[in-house]
Amino acid sequence: MFLLKQENIAKEREMRCIQASGSFYKVGKQVGERCKDDIADVYKRTVSYLLKYTKIGSVARMHEVAAYYMLEAKRLWAPSFEFLSGMAKGAGVTMNKIALTAFSEEVSSEKCSTLVSRLLNGNHLIIHNEDFPPEFGSLIMLDVTFDGYPRFVCLTYIGQLPSLAGSLNVCGVATTNNGLWPDAQPGWSKQVLHFRASLARSLDEAEERLMRRPTSLTTHYVVAYGPTHQVDSLAVSNFQTSHREVTLLPIKGASFCHTNHVLPGYLGLKMSDPAVENSPNSFSRYDKLNNLTLEELPRTPQEAFKLFANQDDDNVLFRKPKKEGESGTKATVVICAETLEFWVRDANTLAMPRDQYICLRV
């Protein structure tokens, strides 16, 4: 019993980085095999969370909605379906369980923080705190080369598609996202859009993938292209909730930040900002980032971690759930698209290793 307990503790502390290559099905199968026990557990916790904190209704209704998104994923971009099929096989679970786990984000909400800091040499640090309810399990890093696509590294959730919490590929395309949707709206799966965009070979290709009408009430992306030092702010919604579906603006200043509220003038919401009720802490996080002086802007990954991953009670950027069901910071991601570097710090102080680093330069 003691040995089993020790093994479980070690497993919980492990921050996995999975390296794989091959077809989408083959890579998905390898990920499923590495995360087999976790996927079964995450499914159970996802069902419990959705029943308690969303308006989705019964478990049968959850599976009905998830099956719809799985079918739409196959229509939108078949490789995403192949990846999930392989993961189901590797984990030894049914496709309906993988579908519910993979598309749970379509009926829940996400509350993250992103800062872009321009360095003196023209490069950028993109810093992102990934916030999500702890019920959805751990994050994993993937270092993957799919057949016919550029190698990429990303942070994502166990049992879900790649690239949901930040990505960088060898072509120099990087993405992060912040979203808020109390209730799902008609549109494409965000997960599929993220995944496909993370494998783009150019900025235009990545942004074209992300501009499709999402299921979210509002969605915001930071998209970077290292070879040209270009970083863009991309806000996307739909005509049911806003007057404009897309606002694309280049990030030109010394810094740029976004949390979960809708920036003034971006989309022209047809309703009050949903963050006021559903994510009021978005405003305190935005104020802190927006009011950083030039001297306070992080210029190194270490400075970025000090600002975003500091777990002191007075740090509004690092979120600690005050009650069950609330979002908390799961990891901090730092990306430099120009140098093809990707850093991650696990929010779990017991994680071994807590920090991960990958450079895609050959």
Beta strands 17-22 and 139-146 are parallel
> Percent of the chain beyond pLDDT 90?
56
Q: Which residue has the higher pLDDT, 253 or 321?
A: 253
pLDDT at 110: 58
Per-residue tokens: 146: 């799919």
* Bond from prior residue into 134 cis (ω within 30 degrees of 0): no
Structure confidence at residue 324 as a pLDDT band (50, 70, 90): low
Q: Say how many residues make up the chain.
A: 362
Other CB atoms closer than 10 Å to residue 9's CB: what's the count?
A: 11
The DSSP string of 4-44 is HHHHHHHHHHB--EEEEEE-HHHHHHHHHHHTHHHHHHHHH
pLDDT at 8: 40
Mean pLDDT of the chain: 87
pTM: 0.91
pLDDT of 182 > 80? The answer is no
In angstroms, how far is the first alpha carbon of the chain from the final one? 46
pLDDT of 256 > 90? The answer is yes
Structure confidence at residue 9 as a pLDDT band (50, 70, 90): very low
Which of 167-171, 187-191, 315-319 has the largest mean confidence?
A: 167-171
CA 173, CA 201: separation in Å to the nearest integer?
A: 7
Per-residue tokens: 238: 């739909």
Burial (CB count <10 Å: 0-12, 13-18, 19+), residue 246: middle
pLDDT of 272 > 80? The answer is no
Q: Which CATH number fits domain 106-359: 3.40.190.10, 3.60.60.10, 3.30.365.10, 3.10.620.30?
A: 3.60.60.10
Other CB atoms closer than 10 Å to residue 322's CB: what's the count?
A: 7
Question: Tell me: the pLDDT tens digits for 70-109?
Answer: 888 898 899 999 999 999 999 999 999 999 888 876 655 5
H-helix segments, the chain: 2-13, 24-34, 36-53, 59-76, 78-91, 95-102, 190-197, 203-210, 275-278, 281-290, 301-308
pLDDT at 19: 96
CA atoms within 13 A on the CB side of 229: 11
CA 309, CA 210: separation in Å to the nearest integer?
A: 28
CA 289, CA 311: separation in Å to the nearest integer?
A: 16
pLDDT at 172: 98
Q: Which residue has the higher pLDDT, 207 or 265?
A: 207
Name residues whose C-beta falls within 8 Å of residue 54's C-beta, 6 or more positions apart in sequence: 107, 108
